[in-house]
Amino acid sequence: NRKFESMRERKRDTSILNEMEQLVDKKELTELTKMVKTSNFICTFCFKKFNSAQSLGGHQNKHREERLQEK
């Protein structure tokens, strides 16, 4: 009865989202969602934040000289 469980889970998730929407207005919810989704990748040299691993990797190439000096 996986299908039944899935329907139950979907109802529960929808219920939780409805409760959240009642507690927080839409604009604030959008801003909070953006905050959670962004800046998951942080440069260990300068602590700059990036939205993707690819962006971070490209940025870290700029620190190549610093990495070589540390060795």
Q: Looking at the predicted structure, is the pLDDT value of residue 1 above 70?
A: no
pLDDT in tens, 3-57: 556 777 777 777 877 777 777 777 777 777 776 655 678 898 899 988 888 999 9
Say what the pLDDT of residue 3 is.
Answer: 59
What span, in angstroms and rounded, lies between the C-alpha atoms of 67 and 15? 50
Mean pLDDT of 52-64: 91
Number of neighbours of residue 39 by Cβ within 10 angstroms:
12
Say what the pLDDT of residue 57 is.
Answer: 93
Domain tally for the chain?
Answer: 1
